[in-house]
């Protein structure tokens, strides 16, 4: 009989603690790893937004689905300066893109804006405007405006700096 009392005296509090622990775990939900697994298996769980990394090559920036994405282009060559704020850039033999400097562009170490200069550009890929709008807005000729319209995108540059070789 004494053994039974000891078992009841220890068992009932243990049962209460276990019950409270189960309620607490039920209230806070599964651990984060289980939520991610649930999201990939199709069960209902909140999904994390996809991390979109900046475009790092000129080829990526030339695609139509690049519009709206950030671009961080290193070691690109200025091929031709078209106007005070616009120029053609390239990284390979055939890859060229149009770049437009933001009116408030951040110039680090005053890069040389001449054909052949190598620069690092940080900005956003945007859709090309109508030729009439680009002629007025950027003071470019109609041939360049039409070519830009055919390309479909340009790089709106918010930061420019001279390119330096990594050590």
Q: Is the distance from CB of 156 to CB of 66 less than 8 angstroms? A: no
For the cut 80, the answer to whether the pLDDT of residue 85 exceeds it is yes
Regarding whether 36 and 73 lie in a shared domain, the answer is no
Instruction: Encode pLDDT of 29-68 as tens digits.
Output: 766 665 555 555 555 555 666 677 888 888 888 887 889 9
Q: Domain for residue 15, yes or no? A: yes
Regarding whether 136 and 90 lie in a shared domain, the answer is yes
CA–CA separation, 84 and 92 (whole Å): 24
Residue 129 belongs to domain with CATH number:
2.40.50.140
For the cut 70, the answer to whether the pLDDT of residue 18 exceeds it is yes
Residue 87 — φ and ψ, nearest 5°? -165, 160
Q: Is the distance from CB of 151 to CB of 100 less than 8 angstroms? A: no
Q: Which domain holds residue 121?
A: 58-162
Around Cβ 20, how many Cβ atoms within 10 Å? Answer: 10
Regarding whether 143 and 70 lie in a shared domain, the answer is yes
What single string gives the DSSP state of each residue in 71-136? EEEEEEEEEEE-SSSEEEEESSSS-EEEEEEEEEEEESS----STT-EEEEEEEEEE---HHHHHH
pLDDT band of 102, cuts 50, 70, 90: very high
pTM above threshold 0.85: no
pLDDT in the model for residue 113: 87
Question: Average pLDDT in the 118-130 region?
Answer: 93
pLDDT in the model for residue 34: 52
Question: Average pLDDT in the 114-134 region?
Answer: 93
CA–CA separation, 160 and 38 (whole Å): 44
Regarding whether 86 and 13 lie in a shared domain, the answer is no
Q: Domain for residue 148, yes or no? A: yes
Regarding whether 68 and 147 lie in a shared domain, the answer is yes
Regarding whether 146 and 69 lie in a shared domain, the answer is yes
Q: Domain for residue 50, yes or no? A: no
């Amino acid at each position: 009989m004494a053994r039974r009392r000891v078992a009841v005296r220890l068992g009932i509090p243990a049962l209460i603690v276990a019950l409270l622990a189960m309620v607490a775990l039920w209230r806070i939900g599964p651990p984060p790893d289980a939520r991610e697994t649930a999201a990939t298996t199709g069960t209902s769980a909140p999904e994390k937004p996809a991390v979109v990394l900046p475009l790092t090559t000129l080829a990526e920036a030339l695609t139509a689905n690049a519009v709206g994405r950030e671009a961080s282009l290193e070691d690109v060559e200025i091929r031709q300066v078209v106007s005070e704020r616009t120029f053609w850039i390239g990284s390979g033999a055939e890859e060229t893109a149009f770049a437009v400097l933001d009116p408030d562009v951040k110039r680090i170490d005053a890069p040389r804006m001449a054909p052949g200069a190598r620069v690092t550009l940080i900005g956003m890929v945007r859709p090309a405007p109508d030729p009439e709008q680009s002629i007025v807005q950027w003071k470019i000729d109609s041939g360049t405006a039409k070519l830009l319209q055919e390309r479909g995108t340009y790089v709106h540059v918010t930061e420019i700096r001279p390119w330096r070789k990594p050590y």
